[in-house]
Each structure stands twice: as C-alpha cells, then as structure tokens.
Structure 1
Amino acid sequence: MLTSRQVRGPRAAGLRPFALTALRHPSISLLLEDHRNLLVDLLDGLGSPLHIVLPEVFEENVVRLREAFADAGAAADILFAKKANKADCYVSSAAALGIGVDVASAPELVKALAGGVPGHRIGISGPEKDDVLHALAVQHGCLVAVDSVGELRRLAATARLARRQADVLLRSRTAGQPASRFGLSQAERDTAVGLCAELAPHIALRGFSFHLNGYSAAERATAANEMIEHCLGARRRGSPSADLVDIGGGLPVRYVEPRLWDEFLRQNEPAHYHAAKDFAGFYPYGGRPAAQAVRVIMAHPVDGSESLAAKARRSGVRFLAEPGRALLDQAGFTMYRVQQVDDRRDTDGYGIVTVAGSSFSLSEQWFNSDYAPDPLLLSARPAPDELFPACVAGSTCLESDLLTWRKIGFPRPVHRGDRLVYLNTAGYQMDSNESPFHDVALPRKVVLRVGDGDGTPRWRLDGI
C-alpha cells in the first residue's frame, strides 16, 4: 500500500490509494525497461490507444496448458476462443501449433480458415446459429455445438443438401445451472440424442458440451462428469462416436498476487472511487493460474474417489477445452497517451487523468465492473516523487467513460504527454467493446516479437 507520502488537500485526509501492482511477463519487463523508446515511438506514430499483442506469450500459454492436461493423464484438444481477441496473429499461432479455434460467427470462421486452421480443428459455438454459419461449418467439417432440437433439425437439413455428415456436440444444461439460457434441458437432450441416431446419415453425435458462469473448478469437473455420463448413454442409444466432452473456457487468470488481491477486497469501499462508485463484483484477479486450474479440475474426485481424468480414460472420452483469456494471459497490453490532467487535490483530494481514447478499449465496464490492476505511468519528463491519486477517464462526452474509476496512487504527478500502460489486456479487454464512436478510427494492434534474431524486438501491424 502506498502510505509513505502525504496527499494534500482538505478532503484527502485518510485517503491511501491501494496499489494493485500487475504481474508482468519477462518479455514485457524487457520491453518496458530496455525498449521503452520503441513503445513510445509506436504510440506517438500510430495513435492512442495502441494495443501491443505478443504471440510468443500466447504460444507459451498453449504449451503450458497442453502440459497440464498431459500431467493430469487426460487426453485433450485445445480450441482458442477467438471471441476473446480479434487479432489475427493469435489465430496464426494456433495454426502453427496445431491447436484449434472456437468461433461463433461466419466472419470468425472465415478468419480462422484464412489464418491456416483446418476446418476439422474448428469448433462452432453460440446459440441458434444461422443457416450461413451452418453451411460453412458443414462444408469445412467443423464441430458444431447445437443448442436446441430445432437447431439440430436445421443443421441436419443443411447436411442433407450438402450430402455430408455434420459433426455435432449437444450443449446441455448442467444440474448446477438448470436455468441457463444456453443448452438443452434433460427432456430436450433425450429427444436430441434420439434424433441423432435417427438422422445418422446426416448427423454424427460426437459428444456433449455445457456452459457455466464462474470459475469454480469443482463445478466444472462435476459438469464434465455429467457429460461423460451423457456420452455413455448416447452410445447405448445408437451413437457410438459420442466420445468428446467439451469443458468450455472459464479457466482463471492471475493478474495480481493473491495476497494483494485479498487485501484489496478487505479494504475496498466506494470512497476509493470517483463519484463514490460502488461495484457489485470483480473478476477474481488473484485467482489460480490456468494450468493449475486444469490440474485441479482433472484431479477432482467423481463418483467416489476416482478422478475426472481417470474416469474419462476408462470411459474412452477425450476432452475439448475452449480457453480464451487463459491463452491470452500476459499476451498483450494497451497504451494510452495522457491528453489532460485535472488536478482536484485541493478540493476533492484526487485528480482526473483524461487519456486520448476511451474505455471502449478497456472493456471491463461491459461487465459492470472496474479493471482493477494499476496502470503504469511512463513520464514524458522528470517529475518529483510525490503520491498523486487520480482516476483515469476517456476523452468522449460520456459521464461513464472512465477506464479506471478507482483512485490510483500514481508515484508522481501525471502530466499531459505522459503515457499510461494497462498490462494484460489481451483477454477480452482490448476490443470486445471497441466502436468508432465520435467517428474515431478503431485503435491499431501492433504485433511484437521479442525473441527473434538478435534480441531486437520486431514489430508489424496485425492482419492476415
């Protein structure tokens, strides 16, 4: 906690901004420490905000998750959930590493194919997909997660016209979340399994998937065990190829140290935020790493003492996983240029830092929450060592356009022309909400590779 400096102003008494220091990948530390001038030049030349994407880190995360499944004794295939980031470079990395991609729209499917991912490694998710997406999926041999009996009938009709057989997962509601708007109820699932056997020339039932809210390893393992049982039941009813269980995404990412996160939650209160904003909840920024979560899920006991991984092996079931955020952990960050600073310390006890850009490029507001890890301040000129509490606002005309509502304890006063770096933004933060509001162009993405050649970072604009 930053408590060693006094904050001036009559309303600042007792205000001690909490430091939520973001974890950094070694490659990011190298860029910030040894190649800061390059980052500044890119931001100044290409505009604010600017997204830096790091496919090397994405590739490391793929390796770690593969190792986690292997260590747990589980057969598993990984599909990158493309909705977590629109950058093409991650799809290219997925193709090079031989993993798949999970998509939920025709444009996403086209991007995955254009990036080199073959159709049989592409999963199609999302509720009630349209006929165009069905046709493309059938044509390219993709695996389609079907959400209703009606969709199953439509997909079968598409496959019949194409004289092909569509590979299908039946997305089913779990016992733990029976009110989910996604997936088949028990009665609908029973009907769908019967239809798959009846429509066998056009439909190949490959297994089951589910949707969960939250990050509970035990709940995900329990749901996966239900799907194993559904596979066994489908085989008995005439679908011998039902051998896949898709555990979805929902693997946590650690943004800050758990001890720090727990302390933050204990001390958190509306007074720490601009306009006394009160958030109902936060992403679990101090959670366990994704690879560790995989090991916990696979080791979870089901049906007594047998682990989930052991039951899957015994049952001849292979897992699919659709991580998005987990594969993007530390694989990108976002830079903003400071446009204006309103120093209200003498009246309100904190300042408002306005950046060139908006919170549409830091999308936690979409989840009615605040992006908790502190941004880094890159000062454009020397400044005294003095605690400067401030929230961070966007430059639009919206009252709610704040990138960080919480009063950050910057280590020195912030000035126009300084730069802010938000770390670990590749997963859902960068572009989930971006729009050309005020007719402003969408921010660019720069692909940086740190480990190539002589150690000098190589950059290019993202795009297939």
Structure 2
Amino acid sequence: MTVTIAIVGAGPRALWALEELTVMSRERNLALDVTVFDPRDPAVGSAYATDQPTHRLVNVTSSAIRTGAGTLDDYRGEGAELDPFPPRALVGEFLTHSWREMLRKLPEQMTVTHERRRITDLAELSGFNEILLATGHQQAELPEGMLDVYDGDLSVIAPGESVAIRGAALTFIDVVLALTLGRGGRFVDQTYVPSGEEPGSITAYTRTGAAIQVKPSPLTDEERAQLEPFREQIRGGAEIREVLCAASSALAGQPVTLADAEPDTDVAGGWRASIAEDRRPPQALGLAWRELYPQIVERVSFGREDLDELPRLLEPLAFGPPPAQIRRMLALHDTGILRVAGERPEAQHTINAVLAPAGIGPGSLEAQLGEGALQTDEAGMVSDNIASVGRASEPYILGHDTLSRTMHGVIPAWARRIGAVYGPKQVHGVPPLTGRLESWMSEPDARGLIDTYSSPVNVLNSAPVTRNIDELVAAGERAGVDVRIHFARKANKALTFVDAVNAAGHGVDVASYRELSQVIDTGVPGERIIVSAAIKTDEFLELALAHGATVSVDSVGELERLQALTRGRQALIAPRIAPDPAKLPPTRFGERSAVWAEALNHAWEGITVRGLHAHLHGYAVADRRTALGEALWLVDKLRQAGHAPEFVDLGGGVPMSYLDNAGQWENFQETRRAMVAGDHPPFTWKAHPLDTVYPFHQAPVRGDWLAELLASDEGQGLKERGLRLHLEPGRSLLDGCGIIYAEVAFVKKRSDGLPLVGLAMNRTQLRTTSDDYLVDPLHLPAGPAEGEELEAYLVGAYCIEDELIMRRRIRFPNGVKVGDIVAFPNTAGYFMHILESASHQIPLALNVARNADGGFELDRIDS
C-alpha cells in the first residue's frame, strides 16, 4: 500500500515533517506519496524569502538553526564570518539547501511533490490518507486603509511623508529598516546618516505605548549553574510564577517580581538601559522565561496547565531582537525620525505590522476544525487523519516556534504515528526484515521447552533437509550430472541432521576429530564422509584411514604425512585446489593446480585419488565456473598420469534466502548506506555499519543456482567426463530447520535513557563470522500484549558493554515484559553453534529435536 499524505504549507516545519517521514519510510519500509501545497517557494515560508533585504535579521543565534542537513553554521562553512543573528535571507538559503538535501535523501519508495497553490478548503484534500496542516502564522486581517508590511507596496511612500506603524514588535523593526536602510541610509558608529529618501517621520503605536525589548545575552556558565535548581523545581511541579521570580532575582542580583515585566513607556530609555545592563529586572525575567521555557513547555503543553497572560507578558522580554537592531532603532530615534506612541497618530500612510495572534484564525483551515485554541494530542492529531503543527494550537501547546526543533516532539511523534498506523504490526527490526517461516515453527511449546531445558533452547527439525537435498539432486538430474551432498557438519552439531542426511543416502563433511568420530558412530559409511579440516592431526588421519573416509589433502606436505601413515592400507584423497589468485581472491586452502599436476604425475603407493576438492569464498556462479574449469584441467592431467578421479567437490557456498521480500532487503541496504553516509540517523548499536553480512535475500538460490552452474561449459564438462559433482552445503541444507527461544530477563534503560531488553542468552548463541543476524525476531508474549510501543536493543548475559544479541534496534509495537519469549527463526545453519561460548561458566544452550511422534526431545549430542 502507498500512503498518500497532504502537507499544507511548505515552510520550515513542513521541511521537518518531511525529514521525519523520510526516516519512517526507511525504518518501516513504507511507500509514501507526499504532496506539499504552498504558493511560495518550498522551505522558506513567508518569513525567509531569499530575495529580502539583508538588514532583516532573525532573533535566534545561527548555531541554534538546525535541519536534517546540519546547522546554519555548518552550511556557511569553516572560516565564514559568523554573525550570531544572521539575515533572514541567509536562513532562507540554508532552508532551501536543506529542502534539496531532503529530496536527495528520499528513499526509493517515497515521493514528494510541491504544488504551488493555496488550499482554502479541507474538502480539497479528501482523497489523502493523512493531512498535516503546517501553515505557521495565520493570515492577519488587514485593517482598511493600511499597507501590508510584506505584500504591500511601500514605494508609494514618498520621501518626507509621515508614516505610522501599527505594532512595535519584530515586524515593526523590519518596516523601519526597509524605509531607512533600505532607501540608502547608513549607520555609522551608531549614528544614522540619512539618504534623503526616508519618510519625514515614522511613529510606531501600540496599545500600551511600549515596544519589544532587546534580547538578553546568553547565560554565562555561572548563571547556567544558578538556574539548574529552578529547572528541577519546574519539573517537580512548583508554582511557575514563583520559580520565575526566584530565578530572575538570582540573575539580577536583586528582588524581581512580575510587576517588573510591565511595559516601559519610556521606550528609548528602556532600550538604552537594557543594552547597558541586560540583567536588569525586566531582562532577567525575560532571560529566566527563555531559559526555563523548555521545562515550562514540557509541563504545561497539551492543556496540562493554564498560564493565562504569562506568555504574552514575558515573550517580548525573552524573544526580542538582537542588540544590533535595537542600536539602529536608537540611532533613528536620536535623529528624530522614529518614535513610539500609545495612540495612532495622524499620518499620510499607515502600515500594519501586527501579525495574527496564536490560535485559530478567521477563515483558516483550522477554523474548519473548531473554535478557540486547537486542541490536539501529542502527535498533533485533531481528528482521525488530520494533524496540525502550527501556531493554531497555541497556547494549548507552547513552543511552536518556526525554526526550533527542541521544544517538543509533536512532528516526530506525528511521523511515528504514520509508521505505527501503516507500518508493520508485528515485532520487527529497524528497518524490517521479515523472515520466511516454516509451518512447523508454530508447533513447539516454547514456554514448556524453556521451563524444561532453560533459556536459550535450540529447537530443531530435520524434515526440511530431505527437501533441500532433493532440490539440488533434481537440478543435477535435469543437467545430466550426478549430484551428491555432503552436509557441512560444522554448520550445526546436532546429530538429528546427520541422521537425516544418512537416511537420504548422502554424506557428511567433517572438520574435526570429534565430528568424524560422532558421524562414524551414527552409522554413516566412510565412503560418504569427506574430511575437509584445515588442521589434521595424525590421530585424525588414522581414524579417517581406518574407516575409508576421503581426505581433502590441503598440501603436498600433508599428502606425504598421510602416505606415511598408510602402512599397507589405502588412503582415499581429494587434493584441494587453490584457484589462480589472478582470477579469484587468494586463499589459504589448497595448492595450485600445477603443483598438484606435478606432484601426482605418477602413482603414489597407498594413495587413491578419488576426486578433487575446492574451498571457495562467497556464492557467485562465476567463481565456481573458474574453479571448476581448473579442476577439469587437473582431472585430465591426473587421468593421463594413471589416476581415476570420480568427482569434483566444490565445497559449500550454496546460496539460500532468509527473506521472501526483495524490497525489504533493498530498503535495508539503502538505509544502511544512508546511515554510513550520515544521511540517516543510526539504527544500529553505536552506529555499527554492518558492512560484513550474509546476503539474507538473493537469487537465484539452491536448485536454480545449481542449474545455472551446470548449464555452463564447465558444468557440462562434468557430464562429458562422467564426473559426479559433490557439494558441501551447511546453511542452505539447514534452511528451515531451526529456531531459538530465549526468555526476556529484564526491560530497562541504559544510563543515558536508551531502552534495553535483556535476554537469558549470550551473543555467541546467535552469531556467525558476519556482523549480525538480519532476520526479524518473533515475540511470544507471556500474556496479553497490551503495553506501550518500545524500540530497544536486545542485550545478553555476558558482563561487557557491547553484549548485543542483535545490532539493529527492535520495535515491539505493543511493548515487551519479563517472562515473554523472543524467538529467532531459521537459525539452524551456523547461528546456533559456530561461535557459541560458555564464558562465565554459563552452560551452552541445549538442543532439542523433533522426533518421529511430532514431539521434541533432547538431541543425542546433548544426551
């Protein structure tokens, strides 16, 4: 399903929403089709157009302006002259760059389209699955006869005419500078030098006769420490007004009350005083409000508490313009051009510089949803599929600042809701990789098995082995080649699989003395055993000789050792070939074909060359064709020398696929690459790159893969020479044969708050030589699964920090609790045993196998 989403507004908050959707699309493997509606250029909204004058500054420091592309300071580059309060146009450039970066980072299954039109009725969006209103400030009503500050034509104001400005906040400063600096005036040493093109007078008027105050300078380290107890008091539920007054008193070094925040009608005097000493009581109140604002927002938002007029009183003191802008206003005041009044003056032109207040504006889309302050949940939802993340919900939700991403997580929560509603409902890794399950895997009584055999327990079923063998043999029959299978015993130590292979008339590949001894004891005849171990002691070779097992001799020196042990007996060998390193990666296994041809150019007493052997890396058909070509050349040489090899053994590397969904695997790989490149937040433990992993989805596999090999010239060379093809699959042969059950021992958080789920097992019990097991686990809850969603890392029993069972985060949509069981499917091939450890004296996992009656009992390897 493709989820269709409409976003109304293309400003900074829409950009944030799109960045969060990009994360969800990858982490839930969601197909998203997003349409953004805005008549303006994307990302910049109404406030950050790139063509506006550079004297319009933002009132936040550049280091605080951040998007998914980094910070504004990063964008400006090392060595750039950093103005702490940058021009709005520069912010717009950065936002435009960030929009392009967002589009560049889109996953394949997500599209974003920008439609340059205004939405005036929610009915226009009826065809979308989800709607997000990200319109920011509502459209202000323009009083009759007034010019609009941004859309009006200020050029109608002639030099020398009188101008009145309605409002004396941040927008008022933009107007004043447009009419002075924007008309050729200059500021020199805090003095204004007119150009002659200015209005004769500019009078700002407000209800109170007061104006916005200078932004207090940032906290010092000492002040930051002073405020820490007050943050805790806000979190702890203390009366907010009392805390603000106490914190302000500490900053000002004198008693401060809320009465100190009342507007100062001596505007110029207040400006001068606050620049000279920005810890005066009014500025201390503004600074305390600004610095404690995150804790206040967290505490009161979503209707938890009513602050009445407190925000209106303190925000002009906290979030005003930078000192540079106020100095310019003072310079204009000192020349007599600018003044602030409490009543509307007579003027030839009046400009509206009052923005619409927070809340639902008349005629807005939000007005079609309700009246008053828009009330939403923590994901911004107003109804089943409509969310709002703009100022329409203030003061119900505080902190909807255009550029800030730190006050609350409404937008990320909205994106996570999209992931929860439309993404996987079952437990899954991030991103999801849904394993292919065998029907029998639902049969075992997981709770009963853990209660009987402890956690973890390896549960095995050898029935799929016969099916997997038959698939390979059938591919050989269709190509006219006799295919024999030798189960790579190192893939799983359980004897149930040896029994299954033996019953099917095939053999076993062993890599140690104990493996060989156990296989012989189960009744596998020596002629169906190949000894491929890298290290072979004399005792090991003696056992192979005694039972007629074929030895894959790794070197001429090893062959000489084996011959010395024969003493009248006949040793069966398959010399191991090391293919040409110019064609395949260098290998530690075997000798070059020419070495074997020279060494075996005559008969060896006590030695019978039964076949040839190769140990190859990877799964590529092309590599096997190369090795097979060399083997066929050597077969011909050996036959000319009087030997009679019967087979070529290409070892393991028969591919299988754990996943049926190729799209999930492609999405995982794309997300992993994006994470490594820094284009996606880490989804693995400590941002582990997972750059060495098995191809959990691939094609062709098993029978089709073998058919492709045997259809080649080299494959047909086997048929032409009457040679058998031997294969030593481990993982592929055990496809569908095992599942691990582990009990949840704890659910907690790391010291930094990172969620952890502890399993009663250790990391070596689900690990191969690759970086991770990349199949989603299964969750078997002990009771109803009704908890809150949790994304956590699975950790194990060893007392080390990086004791990870899986390196991907795991999402539990309905939570997880102690006593639940987590299952890891299709793990019989290598994952259970190849690296298992009993460190800390913790016993190894026991292995239970399905018996003839359909029940499960301890495998003989543990009995």
TM over 0.5: yes
CA deviation vs aligned residue, 1:315-342 (integer Å, no higher than 9, x gap): 1211111111111011001010000112
Match of 2:575 in 1: 170
What secondary structure does 1:433 align onto?
A: coil
Separation in 2 of the partners of 1:447 and 1:136?
28
Amino acid at match of 1:244: F
Q: Residues 128 and 448 of structure 1: is their aligned pair in 2 closer, same or farther, counting only changes over 3 Å?
A: closer
Match of 1:127 in 2: 534
CA deviation vs aligned residue, 1:39-88 (integer Å, no higher than 9, x gap): 21111221000000101122222222222222232112110010000001
Q: Which runs of 5+ in 1 are unaligned?
A: 303-307
Match of 2:642 in 1: 238
Match of 2:126 in 1: none
Match of 1:148 in 2: 555
Separation in 1 of the partners of 2:512 and 2:431?
41
CA deviation vs aligned residue, 1:418-450 (integer Å, no higher than 9, x gap): 11000111000001112221111111011124x
Separation in 2 of the partners of 1:419 and 1:89?
25
Q: State yes or no: 1:377 paired with 2:788.
A: no
Q: Residues 75 and 357 of structure 1: is their aligned pair in 2 closer, same or farther, counting only changes over 3 Å?
A: same
Separation in 2 of the partners of 1:243 and 1:138?
19
Give, in angstroms, the shift of residue 224 of structure 1: 1.4
Q: Residues 128 and 42 of structure 1: is their aligned pair in 2 closer, same or farther, counting only changes over 3 Å?
A: closer
Q: State yes or no: 1:117 paired with 2:524.
A: yes
Q: 2:565 aligns with which of 155, 158, 165?
A: 158
Separation in 1 of the partners of 2:492 and 2:529?
16
What secondary structure does 1:283 align onto?
A: coil
Q: Residues 247 and 3 of structure 1: is their aligned pair in 2 closer, same or farther, counting only changes over 3 Å?
A: closer
Separation in 2 of the partners of 1:144 and 1:53?
29
Amino acid at match of 1:77: R
Separation in 1 of the partners of 2:469 and 2:29?
40
Match of 2:710 in 1: 298
Give, in angstroms, the shift of residue 166 of structure 1: 0.9
Match of 1:76 in 2: 483
Q: Check conservation: 2:625, 2:715, Cα contact below 8 A.
A: no
Give, in angstroms, the shift of residue 129 of structure 1: 1.5
Match of 1:389 in 2: 791
Match of 1:19 in 2: 432
Runs of 4+ in 1 over 4 A off after TM superposition: 6-16
Amino acid at match of 1:373: V
Q: Residues 7 and 228 of structure 1: is their aligned pair in 2 closer, same or farther, counting only changes over 3 Å?
A: farther
Match of 1:179 in 2: 586
Aligned runs of 1:55-454 on 2, under 5 Å?
55-159=462-566, 161=567, 163-175=568-580, 176-177=583-584, 179-194=586-601, 197-199=602-604, 201-239=605-643, 241-257=644-660, 258-268=662-672, 269=675, 271-288=682-699, 289-299=701-711, 301-302=712-713, 308-343=714-749, 351-364=755-768, 366-367=769-770, 369-384=771-786, 386-449=788-851, 452=852
Rg larger in structure: 2
What secondary structure does 1:234 align onto?
A: helix
Separation in 2 of the partners of 1:447 and 1:435?
21
CA deviation vs aligned residue, 1:161-181 (integer Å, no higher than 9, x gap): 1x1111111101112336211
Q: Check conservation: 1:232, 1:242, Cα contact below 8 A.
A: no
Separation in 1 of the partners of 2:585 and 2:806?
35
Q: Check conservation: 1:50, 1:334, Cα contact below 8 A.
A: yes
Separation in 2 of the partners of 1:362 and 1:111?
24
Q: Check conservation: 1:231, 1:243, Cα contact below 8 A.
A: no
Amino acid at match of 1:202: G
What secondary structure does 2:465 align onto?
A: helix
Amino acid at match of 2:782: A
CA deviation vs aligned residue, 1:359-409 (integer Å, no higher than 9, x gap): 111123x33x01111111111122337542111111210222211111122
Amino acid at match of 1:2: R
Separation in 2 of the partners of 1:339 and 1:318?
51
CA deviation vs aligned residue, 1:177-202 (integer Å, no higher than 9, x gap): 362111102442233323xx331x31
Separation in 2 of the partners of 1:118 and 1:326?
23
Separation in 2 of the partners of 1:105 and 1:186?
26
Separation in 1 of the partners of 2:529 and 2:378?
54
Separation in 1 of the partners of 2:640 and 2:729?
31
Q: Check conservation: 1:76, 1:320, Cα contact below 8 A.
A: yes
Moved more, 331-340 or 407-416: 407-416
Separation in 1 of the partners of 2:495 and 2:829?
14
Higher strand share: 1
Amino acid at match of 1:167: L
Separation in 1 of the partners of 2:843 and 2:525?
32
TM-score by length of 1: 0.88
Amino acid at match of 1:112: V
Q: Residues 230 and 355 of structure 1: is their aligned pair in 2 closer, same or farther, counting only changes over 3 Å?
A: same
Q: Check conservation: 2:593, 2:631, Cα contact below 8 A.
A: no
Separation in 1 of the partners of 2:745 and 2:562?
52
Separation in 1 of the partners of 2:782 and 2:534?
48
What percent identity do the matched residue pairs reach? 33
RMSD in angstroms over aligned alpha carbons? Answer: 2.4
Amino acid at match of 2:571: A
Q: Check conservation: 1:338, 1:415, Cα contact below 8 A.
A: yes
Q: Check conservation: 2:579, 2:593, Cα contact below 8 A.
A: no
Q: Residues 400 and 385 of structure 1: is their aligned pair in 2 closer, same or farther, counting only changes over 3 Å?
A: closer
Separation in 2 of the partners of 1:192 and 1:330?
43
Q: Check conservation: 1:334, 1:423, Cα contact below 8 A.
A: yes
Separation in 2 of the partners of 1:208 and 1:250?
17
Separation in 2 of the partners of 1:362 and 1:326?
17
Q: Check conservation: 2:782, 2:820, Cα contact below 8 A.
A: yes
What secondary structure does 1:93 align onto?
A: helix
Separation in 1 of the partners of 2:412 and 2:689?
19
Amino acid at match of 2:579: T
CA deviation vs aligned residue, 1:249-306 (integer Å, no higher than 9, x gap): 101121112221112101122501122222222100001332222112212x23xxxx
Amino acid at match of 1:225: G
Q: Check conservation: 1:228, 1:317, Cα contact below 8 A.
A: no
Q: Larger relative contact order (C-alpha < 8 A, sep ≥ 6)?
A: 1
CA deviation vs aligned residue, 1:85-104 (integer Å, no higher than 9, x gap): 00011111112111100002
Q: Check conservation: 1:122, 1:142, Cα contact below 8 A.
A: yes
Separation in 2 of the partners of 1:256 and 1:82?
24
CA deviation vs aligned residue, 1:194-218 (integer Å, no higher than 9, x gap): 3xx331x311112211111111012
Q: Check conservation: 1:48, 1:336, Cα contact below 8 A.
A: yes
Separation in 2 of the partners of 1:404 and 1:352?
11
Give, in angstroms, the shift of residue 343 of structure 1: 4.4
Give, in angstroms, the shift of residue 3 of structure 1: 7.6
Q: Check conservation: 2:29, 2:667, Cα contact below 8 A.
A: no
Q: 2:857 aligns with which of 419, 439, 460?
A: 460
Separation in 1 of the partners of 2:481 and 2:412?
55
